[in-house]
Structure 1
Amino acid sequence: MVNRGAWIVAIVAALAVLLINPIAEISWNDDWCYGRMAYEFARSGTFVYNGWAAAMVGPQVLWGALWIKLFGFSFTVLRLSTLPVFIGCGVLLYRLHRRAGIDDNLSTLGSLATLLSPIVLPLAASFMTDIFGLFLFLLSIVFLQNLQEGTREKAGLWIALVVLTGLLAGAIRQLFWLVPLVALGYIAWRRRELRALALGGAAVALVGTVALTLWYTKQPYALGESVVPGIKGIVHNPVPSLLTILGLLMGVTLFLFPVVSAVVLPRLGGGAGKGRLIVGVLALASAGACFLGKWLFPWSYNICSEFGVLRPADTALGDPELVLSTLPRLVLSLVALLSSLCVVEWAIAERATLIKTLQRVLAAQTEKTDHGVVILALYSVPYLLVALSRAGIGMSWDRYLIPVFPLVTILALRSLAGRALPKAAWAALALFGLYSVAVSHDYLAFLRAEATAVQALEKRGVPATQIRANFEFDCWTETEQKGFINDARIHNPVDAYRDLTDEQMRGVWPTSQKVPWWWRFTPSVEGRYFVVTTPIPGLIDTADTPITYQRWLPWTTATIRIQQSPTAN
C-alpha cells in the first residue's frame, strides 16, 4: 500500500513537470535520436539506429512507440510519456529509503532531493534515456530487496524479476547490466540456500547481456563505446582529467545539498572543534584556489550549466543570456567545496563506525534494512569507475552521476542517527526545486520560440533543409533526409561517413563566425535562413523577427531572431 510520503513525492514530481510546461514541437538535446527511433518503430516495427546513440535504448523505444500509436507522433507526446516513469522513480526512491530504516519525513526529503535536483528534473521534461534507465535500475534494486527479505518459496520469482529488470535497464543504458551480476553475486554469497538459484540467475543475466551486445553490434548505424580512450586520455592529460572528476564528485554534494546538509551543518555547528578547524582551513585554501585559478562551478556541465539547463551557446546560434554569473558560481563552488570537505571530515571522524559496519557486511551479519544500501554501494563502485573514465575524452557529463544519488541520500540521512534534521534542509529543498523548475521552464520556452521561428519559415515555403536553427532541429532534419547522422564513429555500413571540413559546411554563414560543431554531422542542411538568439554580423533580419518568450530566471522577455543571408530569396 502506498502511504502518505509516497503520495507527496508523486504529486510534487508531477506538479514540478507540469509547471515546467513541457510542450514544444522540437526535440530536447539528444532526444531527437531516441524520438526518431520510437517513430521508426511505431511505423515499421523495427529498431532503426541513426548514428548518434551509443545507448541501446530498446525498452524506451517500445514505450515511446506505444504512446505514438495511442496519441500520434509529436515531441510533446514523447516528453509526456516520461512523466509516469518519473513519478514511478519517485515512488521507488521513497520505498528504498523506507527499507533502509529512514522515517517517513526523511524518506520524502531524500526522494524529492533527487527528483528536484537541477540535473534530474530537467530530464523529466524530455525523452532522454536517463529517467527510463533510472526507473528500471531502482525497480531491480527493490526486487532484490524483496528477494533478500522474502521466503525461499518466492525466491525464484524475485530472481527472475531482478534478471529481467536488470537486462531491460541495460538495454536502455548498458552500464545497468552490472546490476543483476553484482546483486545476484551478493545474494549467492549471503544466502547459501539460494546460491544455486542466484548463480543461475547471474548466468542467465550474463548470457542475456552477451546476446544483446552481439545483436546491437550488428545493427546498422549503431555506435559502440569503450573505456580505453577515456583511460588513455586520463593518462596523457592527468591534471585536467582529475580536476574534472573531482569537480563531478563535489557536484554531487551540491546537487543533493538539501540532504547532504544533514552531514554538513552539524559539522559546522558544534562538537567537532578540531574537525571544524581543518574544514575551515581547507575551505579557505579552496576559496583561494577558486579565485586564483578561476576553477568555478560547473566543473563539468551537461544538464546544469551557467546558462541554467544545458549550454545553448554550444547547441544554438548566437549568444544566450547567462543565468549564473561569476559571483553566484563562486558561491556555489564554495558551498560544494565546503560540503565535500565536511563529508570527508565526517567520514574520518566516523571511521570506526564505518569499519565496523563494513566488517558486519563481510561477516554477513547486517540487518535486513542494510541490504539495499549494500547493493547500491557494490554497484556504485564499478559504475563510477567506468562513468568517470570518460573524463579522459571530455565527455563525463553530470547526469552520469544520477544512479549514485540514492546511495548518497540514504547514507546522509542515516548519518543523523536520531538527531533532528536541520530546518535549513527543507528550505534548501524548496530553493533547489524552484531553481530547477525555473531553468527547466526557460529552456523549454526557448525551444518553443525556436520552433515558432521554424514554423514561420515553413509557412513561407522554406524547406527544412534551408533552415539552420539549433543542434536538435538540424539533426532531426538530417535524419529525415538521410536516415542517419554523419558521424565518424559509424562503421556499419563502412561507407556511410563523409569526411567534411568546417569550411566545406560554411555555405553562406559569415566568415567572421566560427562554423558550429554540429554542422559536419548534418551536411544535408544547407542553411540559408538562421534562427539565432542574438544578431549575427553579416546576416540580415527577416520580416518574422523578433519572436519573444518569457523567461523566469531572470524574469525578462527574451527574443529569438530569424536572419538570412543577403543572397537568400
Structure 2
Amino acid sequence: MTPRQAAADRRAAAAALIALGAWLLLLRAAAPVGSDVPIGDDWAYASSVRGLLETGRLRMSQFAGPAAVVHVLWGALFCLPAGFSLSALRLSTLAAAALALVAFERLLAELGYSPAQRLLGAALLAFNPLFFVLSLSFYTDILFLALFLLSALAVLKGLSGSRGWLWAAAACSVLSVLTRQIGVAPALAGALMLVVARRQRDAAIVVIPPLAALVLHAFWFVHVHGVTHGAWYHAHESLRRLRDPLRLAVDCAARSAAAAAYLGWLIFPLGVCAALSLRAGPRPSRARLLLAAAAAGLWLAAHAAHVAPPTLGDQIGRLGLGVVAVPGAAFKAAGWWSARPLWLTGGALSLATLAAFAAGGGGAPTGAIFFIGASLLTFAPALLSFSFFDRYLLTLVPCAIAAGLGAARARPKTAWAGAALLGLLSAAGAFDSLSWNAALWKAGAAAQELGYPADEIRGGLSWDGAHIAERNLALLRATRPLESIKPYDWLALQKPRALLSFDPSPPPGTRRLMAVAYATPLTSRGGAVYVYGLAPKGRAP
C-alpha cells in the first residue's frame, strides 16, 4: 500500500466514524422519550421473546405472519443481561442496523466503489426514512436486511473463487431463511451464477443448506409448533390471488409502478446528481429518451391509479412515520409533514430520479448484476402477496443505491446535501412517532387508574394487540374453524368502555376524561391523545 493510499484509507475511516456518530446522534434525538412501549404490532414478536425467556418454549404469536425464529432468538439474546424489556429489543434492532450498514459498505467495496462513495452509500441507507424508523422498532425488517446483505456479500466474495466465503453465504442464508422464509433468494441467485460459470459443486454448497433449512422449518412450523392464524391467513389469501391471473398481472404491474415511485423518492439525492450529469454530458440517445418517457409514464400511471406514495401505507404516510393505527387517526397532528407542497416536491423528485436514471444518468457497476437479481428475487413474493406495504421495499433500497451510486461521483456535495435532508426528515418523523406512541400508552395507563381495565380500553393496534390479541385469537381458534377467522375478528370480542383517540370530539355516549399532550417537531402546537369513557362500574369517572 502506497503512502497516498494509506492516507486515503485513514481519511475514509475518520469520515466513516463521523457519519456513524451523526447517525447515532440523529437516532438519539429521535428517541428522547425512552419509553418502553410497543410500536405498531412489534408486540407480536416481543411476546414470543417474553415467552421464551419465561418458559423456555419457543411459541410464535398467532397474530404474526412469518415464523421468525432467529429474530426471536436475537431479541432474547439482548434481554439476557437485565431481563425482558422492549428497550432491550430495540437495542437488538439497532445492533442489527449497524451490522447492516457495515455489510452494505463492504458490499459496495466488493462492487469496486471508492471509500468516499462507499461512505455516501452507507449514509444514504442509514438516513433513509424506512431504514431509520424501522431501526427504532422490533420488526423483523432490519435484522432480515442485515442477514440478506451479509449473504449477498459472502456470495459476491465467493464468486471470485474462495469456497470458504460460499460456506459463509450458506450459513447467512440459513439464518435469513429462519427469520423470513424469502431469505433463500441470495442463495438461489448465487447458485444460478455459479451454475452458469460451470461451478456446480460450489452452487450446491450455497443453495442446499438454506433449502434444507426451509424444508425443516416448514415441517417444524406445521407439525410441531402448529400454524399460526396470521401465517395461515396470509398464505391462504395470497394463494387465492393466483386464481385470477389477469387481475394478478394488473395488480403486480401497479405494485411495481408504486415501488418504482417510492424508490425514486427514497434515493432522490442520487437522482438529482444523475439529472445534473445529463445536462453536463452528451445528449442521451433516442432510445434512452424513450425509456425515460416510459419511466415518467409509469410513475404518472401509478399516481393515477392511486397506488403511488403515500397510499401504500404502513411506515410512510401523510400523518408521519410509523404505523398510525389509532382511533381518530385523521385528527393526528401532522403539521408541515402533511402539507401538499412537501408531497408534490417529493413526487417531482421521484419522477426526476426515475427519468434521469432511465435516460442513462446513473451507471451501475457490472458486478452489481448478482446483487440486483438477488434483491428483485427477494422482493418478488411481495408482488404476489395479498398485502403490500412500503416496508417490503426495504431490501430494494440498498440495491437502488448500489446501482445509482456512480451518479454522485462528480457531485458528491449535492448527494451529501440530499442525504442530510433525508436524515433530518427521518429524525423528525421518528421523533413524532415515538412521542405520540408514548402519549398513547400514558393515556391508557391513566384510564386504568380511573378504573377501566386494560382489555376494556380501545386504543388501536399497539394497545389492543398487546392486551387482547393472543387471548382472543386463542378463544376464536377454540370455537371456530381456522378458515372462518379474519385478521381482526379478535377485536370484535372486545367490549370497550373507554377509548384512546386523536379525535378531540367525544364519540356519542362518552365524555372526555383527559387529554395527554405530547411534543412533536411537525407542528409548534404539539399533539394530544384524548381519553373518552363510560362510567366504570361502581364509580363515576
Range into which the TM-score falls when normalised by the shorter chain: 0.7 to 0.9
| Aligned equivalent of 2:185 | 178
1:565 Cα deviation (Å)?
2.8
1:87-236 paired onto structure 2 within 5 Å: 87-149=98-160, 151=162, 155=163, 157-190=164-197, 192=199, 195-218=200-223, 219-222=225-228, 223-224=231-232, 225-226=234-235, 227-232=238-243, 235-236=246-247
Change (3 A) 1:291 1:383: closer
- The equivalent position to 1:253 in structure 2, one of 264, 280, 297, is 264
Q: In the alignment, does 2:527 pair up with 1:558?
A: yes
- Confirm whether residue 81 of structure 1 aligns to residue 92 of structure 2: yes
Matches within 5 A, 1:469-548: 469-479=459-469, 481-482=471-472, 484=474, 495=480, 518=488, 520-523=489-492, 525-534=494-503, 535-543=505-513, 545-548=514-517
Q: Kindly tell me: are residues 554 and 235 of structure 1, through their superposed partners in 2, closer, same or farther at Cα, counting changes over 3 Å? A: farther
1:44 has 2:55 as partner: yes
Q: Deviations over 1:342-371 (max 9, x none)?
A: 222228x98xxx8xxxxxxxxxxxxxx854
CA contact (8 A) 1:287 1:334 kept: no
Shift of 1:72: 2.2
**Equivalents in 1 of 2:272, 2:357: separation in Å?**
9
Query: Greater shift after overlay, 245-254 or 532-541?
Result: 532-541
Q: Is the 8 A contact 1:137 1:169 kept in 2?
A: yes
The whole-number CA distance in structure 2 between the counterparts of 1:47 and 1:451 is 27
Instruction: Name 1:375's counterpart in structure 2.
Output: 370
CA–CA separation in structure 2 for the residues paired with 1:110 and 1:466: 48
| Contact map agreement 2:266 2:397 (CA 8 A) in 1 | no
What is the one-letter code of the residue matched to 1:78? L
C-alpha distance in 2, partners of 1:431/1:306? 18
Q: Which letter maps to 2:391?
A: R
The corresponding residue for 1:389 is 384
Aligned position for 1:15 = 25
1:145 Cα shift? 3.0
The separation in 1 between residues aligned to 2:339 and 2:15, in whole angstroms, is 37
In structure 2, the residue matched to 1:463 is 453
Alpha-carbon shift at residue 23 of structure 1 (Å): 2.4
Helix, strand or coil at the partner of 1:526: coil
The structural deviation recorded for 1:499 is 5.9
SS of the residue aligned with 1:553?
A: coil
The letter for the 2-side match of 1:405 is V
Task: Determine the C-alpha separation between the residues in 1 that align with 2:303 and 2:82.
Answer: 53
SS of 1:546 mapped into structure 2:
strand
| Equivalence for 2:438 | 448
CA apart distance, 1:277: 7.6
CA distance in 2, matches of 1:537, 1:161: 58
Residues 440 and 529 in structure 2, CA contact (< 8 A), matched pair in contact too: yes
Contact 1:58–1:171 (CA under 8 A) maintained in structure 2: yes
CA displacement at 1:136 relative to structure 2: 0.8
- Distance of 1:415 and 1:387 partners within structure 2: 29
Corresponding residue for residue 510 of structure 1? none
The alpha-carbon distance between structure 1 residues 496 and 341, as it changes in their structure 2 partners (threshold 3 A), is: same
Cα deviation, residue 328, structure 1 = 2.2
Cα deviation code 1:213-265 (max 9, x no counterpart) = 22122323521444533445672376565334312212101111123333233
Q: How much does 1:209 deviate?
A: 1.5
Aligned partners of 2:257 and 2:299 also within 8 Å: no
Runs (5+) with no aligned partner, structure 1: 355-368, 502-516
Superposition deviation, residue 470 in structure 1 = 1.5
**Cα distance between partner residues in 2 of 1:284 and 1:136:** 34
Distance in 2 of aligned mates of 1:209 and 1:380: 19
TM-score under structure 2 length normalisation: 0.85
When residues 555 and 233 of structure 1 are mapped into structure 2, their CA distance, relative to the original with a 3 A threshold, is farther
- Alignment check: 8 A CA contact 1:109 1:259 kept: no
Aligned in 2, Cα 1:326/1:311: closer, same or farther, shift over 3 Å? farther
Distance change (3 Å), C-alpha of 1:383 and 1:180: same
- In the alignment, structure 1 residue 423 sits paired with structure 2 residue 393: no
- With over 3 angstroms needed to count, the CA separation of the structure-2 counterparts of 1:114 and 1:540, relative to structure 1, is same
Write the deviation string for residues 440-486 of structure 1: whole angstroms up to 9, x where unpaired: 11010000001111111223343211111121110111146457595
Deviates more, 1:123-132 or 1:260-269: 260-269
Q: Spell out the pairing of 1:19-38 with structure 2 (5 A cutoff).
A: 19-21=29-31, 23-38=34-49
Give the % identical residues.
Answer: 21
Q: What is the aligned partner in structure 2 of residue 411 from structure 1? A: 403
Aligned partners of 1:284, 1:260: CA distance in 2, in Å? 13
Pick closer, same or farther for the CA change 1:246–1:132 going to 2, 3 Å: same
- 3-state DSSP of counterpart to 1:561: strand
Q: Which residue of 1 aligns with 2:14?
A: 4
In the alignment, what sits opposite 1:505? Answer: none
Question: Structure 1 pair 300/459, CA: closer, same or farther in 2 (3 Å)?
Answer: same
| TM-score normalized by the length of structure 1 | 0.81
- Please report the RMSD computed on the Cα atoms of aligned residues, expressed in angstroms: 3.3
Please say if residues 550 and 557 of structure 1, whose CA atoms lie closer than 8 Å, have aligned partners that are also in contact: yes
- Judge conservation of contact 1:13–1:86 (CA < 8 Å) in 2: no
Aligned residue for 2:226, secondary structure, equals: coil
Q: Which residue of 1 aligns with 2:66?
A: 55
Q: For residue 436 of structure 1, report the CA deviation from its aligned partner.
A: 0.6
* Shift, 1:547, TM fit: 0.9
Superposed displacement of residue 415, structure 1: 4.8
- Matched residue, 2:348: 334
In structure 2, the residue matched to 1:509 is none
Q: Which amino acid aligns with 2:211?
A: L
SS at match of 1:522: helix
Look up the match of 2:518.
549
Partner of 1:399: 391
The offset of 1:422, in angstroms, is 5.2
Are the counterparts in 1 of residues 258 and 308 from structure 2 also a CA contact under 8 Å? no
In the alignment, residue 344 of structure 2 is paired with which amino acid? L
SS in 1 for 2:333: coil
SS at match of 1:428: helix
Is the contact between residue 100 and residue 145 of structure 2 (CA under 8 Å) also seen in structure 1? Answer: yes
1:162/1:180 contact within 8 Å kept: yes
Q: Report the AA paired with residue 530 of structure 2.
A: R
